[in-house]
């Protein structure tokens, strides 16, 4: 338990800082551009991370929203109920996960449609010989073809959105004080460690995506959609009364408004 608390102290103490919430979006943009430059000007040799079938990509990134949803749900429920004692407020705050799910679904569907309507089926990865008879990506792949369209980076979008959402929700830890002997303390500590680990995985895999995959324009659009999803909710809508609201904390609305004005 002591080791778990030390991990929670380090991870939680790092991610709850106002400076992290303020500068993480800029850090993601900078790492996306820097990684893209490396990919274009001095590509790195193939490695474990450049393999799309690696463990982190297969079991974490491809289901990034599921991991984020499943860990944030108990975290928001426990911390918000501990601070307010109001089930209605907790349900209202949990609706942020429904909003996030809607953003994830709409954006990924949009990306898929864009790739479909801008793409064509080719006989080889070198984009030789268009197969006019195959009108969809699924049909093209089923017949052994290679589909090429404008493939907005879903990884760049989702990892940006998930990392920023976790950091926003963990701001509540400034207010959470629990008895070490209470089971609630153990549950919240474990969730802080899991969410902290997940955030670092998301940021690391975001950088790997920038270095190894997609064209620059595809990553720019993906990152932009992730930033818009985050700012449109936590930076704008959640500041309003008719919204799921921000995590409960002292003068949260004033502090939040000030942080986005700077």
Alpha-carbon dihedral 160, 28, 258, 253, rounded to 10 degrees: 20
Catalytic option among 82, 134, 185, 214: 214
214 is catalytic: yes
How far, CA to CA in Å, does 143 sit from each of 45, 98, 112, 138? Answer: 31, 37, 19, 9
Tell me the C-alpha distance between 56 and 107, whole Å. Answer: 22
Catalytic option among 82, 134, 155, 185: 155
Burial code (b: 16+ CB inside 10 Å, e: under 16) for 140-151 equals beeeebbbbbeb
Beta-carbon contacts of residue 120 (< 8 Å; ≥ 6 apart): 130, 131, 147, 148, 149
141 is catalytic: no
Quick one: 83 exposed, middle or buried, by C-beta within 10 A (0-12, 13-18, 19+)? middle
How far, CA to CA in Å, does 144 sit from each of 114, 137, 138? Answer: 22, 11, 10
For 184, list phi and psi in degrees, rounded to 5. Answer: -65, -40
Angle, vertex CA 152, rays to CA 148 and CA 157, nearest 5? 155
Beta-carbon contacts of residue 151 (< 8 Å; ≥ 6 apart): 111, 115, 214, 218
Catalytic center residues? 155, 214
């Amino acid at each position: 338990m002591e080791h778990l608390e030390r991990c929670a102290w380090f991870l939680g103490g790092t991610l709850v800082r106002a400076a992290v919430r303020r500068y993480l979006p800029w850090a993601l943009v900078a790492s996306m551009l820097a990684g893209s430059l490396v990919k274009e000007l001095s590509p790195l040799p193939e490695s474990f991370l450049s393999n799309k079938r690696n463990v982190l990509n297969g079991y974490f990134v491809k289901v990034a929203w599921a991991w984020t949803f499943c860990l944030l749900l108990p975290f928001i429920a426990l911390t918000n109920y501990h601070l307010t004692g109001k089930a209605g407020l907790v349900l209202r705050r949990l609706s942020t996960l429904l909003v996030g799910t809607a953003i994830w679904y709409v954006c990924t569907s949009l990306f898929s449609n864009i790739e479909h309507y801008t793409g064509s089926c080719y006989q080889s990865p070198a984009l030789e010989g268009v197969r006019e008879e195959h009108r969809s990506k699924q049909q093209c792949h089923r017949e052994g073809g290679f589909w090429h369209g404008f493939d907005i980076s879903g990884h760049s979008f989702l990892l940006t959105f998930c990392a920023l959402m976790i950091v926003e929700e963990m701001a509540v830890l400034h207010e959470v004080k629990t008895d070490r002997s209470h089971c609630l303390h153990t549950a919240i500590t474990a969730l802080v460690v899991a969410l902290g680990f997940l955030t670092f995985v998301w940021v690391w895999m975001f950088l790997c995506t920038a270095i190894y995959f997609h064209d620059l324009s595809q990553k720019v659009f993906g990152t932009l959609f992730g930033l818009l999803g985050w700012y449109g909710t936590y930076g704008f809508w959640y500041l309003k009364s008719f919204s799921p609201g921000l995590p409960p904390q002292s003068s949260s609305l004033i502090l939040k408004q000030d942080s986005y004005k700077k």
